[in-house]
Amino acid sequence: MAIYLTKESKVLVQGMTGAEGMKHTRRMLAAGTDVVGGVNPRKAGGTVDFDGRTVPVFGSVREGVERTGADVTVVFVPPAFAKAAVVEAADAGIGLAVVITEGIPVHDAVALTAHARAEGTRVIGPNCPGLITPGQSNAGIIPPDITKPGRIGLVSKSGTLTYQLMYELRDLGFSTCVGIGGDPVVGTSHIDCLTAFQDDPDTDLIILIGEIGGDAEERAAAHIREHVTKPVVGYIAGFTAPEGRTMGHAGAIVSGSSGTARAKKEALEAAGVRVGSTPTETARHVLDLLRGAAQDDARAGARA
Amino acid sequence: MDLYEHQARQLFEEHGIVVPRAEVTDSPERAREIARALGGRAVVKAQVKTGGRGKAGGVRLAADPAEAEQAARRILGMDIKGHRVGAVMVAEPCDIEWEFYVSYVLDRASGGFLAVASAEGGTEIEEVAARRPEAVARIPVDPATGVHTATAVRIADAAGLPPQTVDTLVRLWKVLVREDALLVEVNPLVRTVEGRIVALDGKVTLDDNALFRQARWGQEHPAIPDSPEARARAKGLNYVKLDGEVGVIGNGAGLVMSTLDVVAGCGARPADFLDIGGGASARVMADGLSVVLSDPDVKSVLVNVFGGITACDAVADGIVRALDEVRLTKPLVVRLAGNNAARGRALLDARAHPLVEQATTMDGAARRAARLATAAPAPGHAG
């Protein structure tokens, strides 16, 4: 099952013929993603060969959808054109738009997420690494060979921290890993992913990675307390970040006393989430919880 | 990027919002002339990008041009919360009857903008918001329609502002959209005893991501020209100077923030945040290392890279290159994992620099770098 993305997903790539688009389309195909086409009005009707696999280029998202039944798009177009690209995808009825592009103006992010919401399109990102359902499909730039299929779900604001945790827990494997992005305005929240993982029969445990800025983690904590029965393990980055400085991600900023790592950690712990102090300790919490659950199962089995 | 008050004032004026007559200067003599041209009385205001100017003595009312000169002399060069005052704005005073607060601000929770308004504006607005939240109206703005008269009327009604403010609310939204701002705030917006609505003080924060289509304001310049921050900016690196002794370089904002935290957990303090980004080349790595090594506070350097898109051998190649370009005088701990990590480690092993060591885990690397920094001899004691 997994969430949002499966081996049935048919994926278009907007900006496929650019340098980044080419590089990552090749990787996505190698990871088993069913890339059914690229979109570029100036190269419509052409094809691109990726190591023996021929991928058609369509003039518009709508044409791509009509010809292939695509339901996912991965967007690599430059920041100035990203809003138009997502609006086009939403208008063409695409269900999931994964926006990798970094540096999209906030007003454009507000407009594109609002438009997509109104059209019933889920946006992941912008400025995110995308999502991967290991062994099935990879939509974005997450390296597919770090980990294997498993039963841990992961949602994260940070790409490299996602990779770090995937690596630490590579022997257990993951159902789906979603990089939601570190911009102030994103289309999919921690809460959206928590809800989807809670409902996913193939996910046993959820890892939530957050960082300074905003209050998404605090809101996620409140949601967990009310609605999530699966175990959740958290990690928050940015305890040493100074107030008022943007730490790499546009959204990673402590303003006055709000958005601090401490407040987020405390909110999560108050909701029963185990929060690691380092990525490695976070992975250890996951192992402890799953081992504990396995022992409980064994005990239950012995009693039966 | 935050604008200075006088820049915000200029934007408001361009969009037809009434602002006091004013001019900016860095000279006390010129302040006197401006005050004379304004009719004698004037308010002299420090131009710094921080709040609390009034309480710090950065805003003075002058009864005549001579007092304006004196006030400017006192304010110029002041330090307000770490910001040096390089210019003052000399403005005509207003006789205030009523102070309001109005702003449009990005609301991350809803992914859109909020109108925030109150009939109790002024310097105490934050206390009002904390003590009596009902005195501050917060109205979401539909991004598809924006703020036209009907919405502005709703905002004014909700906050208890007089109908005269509606025009300002509509124009202020135009400032937000046309300038790609994340925040436009007028505090106070006043009604004068003559019945005019005037934007007395304003704050505008622009979106750095929109600079490609808002070239007018240019990039912000670092405060100190020959600092590591200035060097990093010149090389296009994502760098924040901190006040510790372990230099940190990594890839990806989250991983670098996490590395700082892990260093702090080992009892040392990080000296910087430096994100070489995804897919970093050898050149970027070499530039990053030279910036971090140029910081005199740095006693050891930790390079923590998880190769997702980034290839670890390119990172190792950058380190080797940097070792040829700058003389390494501080120990360097490198942790490479992920994409091409084995090849990267082999490159560093082959270079066999006596001050470079490798670690296999992030926690182990941080512990080692922290120990090297705290055990390092003080400058001048070496040899």
Catalytic annotation, pick one of B4, B69, B92, B101: B101
Q: Which of A115, A38, A122 is CA-nearest to residue A84? A: A115
Q: Do A241 and B258 touch (CB under 8 A)?
A: no
Torsion on CA atoms B333, B298, B260, A246, rounded to nearest 10: -130
Percent residues over pLDDT 90 in chain A: 87
Q: Do A115 and B308 touch (CB under 8 A)?
A: no
pLDDT higher than 80, residue A104: yes
| Mean pLDDT for the stretch of residues A53-82 | 97
The verdict on residue B8 lying in a domain is no
Q: Which of A113, A143, A157 is nearest residue B338 as measured by Cβ atoms?
A: A143
pLDDT higher than 90, residue A154: yes
Q: Looking at per-residue confidence, does B378 or A130 come out higher?
A: A130
Nearest-by-CA chain B residue for A211: B254
> Are B163 and B114 in a shared domain?
yes
Region of residue B72 (left: phi > 0; alpha: psi -120 to 50; beta: else): alpha
From B180's Cα to the closest Cα of chain A, the distance in A is 7
The verdict on residue B268 lying in a domain is yes
| Boundary residue ending a domain (B217, B251, B273) | B217
| Mean pLDDT for the stretch of residues B31-49 | 96
Nearest-by-CA chain A residue for B251: A160
> Are B52 and B136 in a shared domain?
no
| Mean pLDDT for the stretch of residues B253-277 | 95
Residues of chain B in contact with residue A265, where contact means CB-CB under 8 angstroms, are: none
* A:281-300 residues touching chain B, CB 8 A cutoff: none
> Are B79 and B107 in a shared domain?
no
Least confident of A100-104, A143-147, B144-148, B277-281: B277-281
Annotated active-site residue B101? The verdict is yes
> Are B86 and B142 in a shared domain?
no
CATH superfamily of A146-295: Succinyl-CoA synthetase domains (3.40.50.261)
How far apart CA B189 and CA B98 sit, in angstroms, is: 8
pLDDT higher than 50, residue B383: no
> Are B278 and B318 in a shared domain?
yes
Q: What is the pLDDT of residues B190-224, one digit of tens each?
A: 999 999 999 999 999 999 899 889 877 766 655 56
Residue A235: per-residue pLDDT: 97
Query: Is B262's Cβ below 8 Å from some Cβ in A?
Result: yes
Structural domain spans, chain A: 10-124, 146-295
Query: Is B28's Cβ below 8 Å from some Cβ in A?
Result: no
> Are B370 and B259 in a shared domain?
yes
| Mean pLDDT for the stretch of residues A64-92 | 97
> In the CATH scheme, what architecture does the domain A10-124 have?
3-Layer(aba) Sandwich (3.40)
Q: Which of B144, B253, B306 is nearest residue A164 as measured by Cβ atoms?
A: B306
Q: How confident is the model at residue B381 (pLDDT cuts 50, 70, 90)?
A: very low
> Are B109 and B148 in a shared domain?
yes
| Mean pLDDT for the stretch of residues B74-95 | 92
From A302's Cα to the closest Cα of chain B, the distance in A is 39
> Are B249 and B168 in a shared domain?
no
Q: Which of B113, B260, B275 is nearest residue A240 as measured by Cβ atoms?
A: B260
Q: What is the CATH number of the domain that holds B123?
A: 3.30.470.20
Total of domains in chain B = 3
| Boundary residue ending a domain (B37, B59, B91) | B91
Q: What is the CATH number of the domain that holds B287?
A: 3.40.50.261
Best probe of the B interface among A101, A240, A280, by most B CBs < 10 A, is A240
Query: Is B113's Cβ below 8 Å from some Cβ in A?
Result: yes
Residue B223: per-residue pLDDT: 56
- Contact indicator for B186, B204 with CB cutoff of 8 Å: no
* Known binding residues of B: 45, 52-54, 94, 99, 187, 201, 251, 308-310
| Mean pLDDT for the stretch of residues B32-43 | 96
Residue B377: per-residue pLDDT: 57
| Mean pLDDT for the stretch of residues B167-171 | 98
* Known binding residues of B for ATP: 45, 52-54, 94, 99
The verdict on residue B380 lying in a domain is no
Whole-model pTM: value is 0.91
> Are B72 and B108 in a shared domain?
no
For the record, the structure tokens of A88 come out as 């086009």
> Are B252 and B183 in a shared domain?
no
Q: What is the CATH number of the domain that holds B56?
A: 3.30.1490.20
Q: Do A146 and B213 touch (CB under 8 A)?
A: no
Query: Is A76's Cβ below 8 Å from some Cβ in B?
Result: no
Residue A291: per-residue pLDDT: 87
- Contact indicator for B32, B76 with CB cutoff of 8 Å: no
pLDDT higher than 50, residue A224: yes
| Mean pLDDT for the stretch of residues A102-118 | 97
> Are B182 and B166 in a shared domain?
yes
The verdict on residue B274 lying in a domain is yes
Residue B138 domain boundaries: 96-217
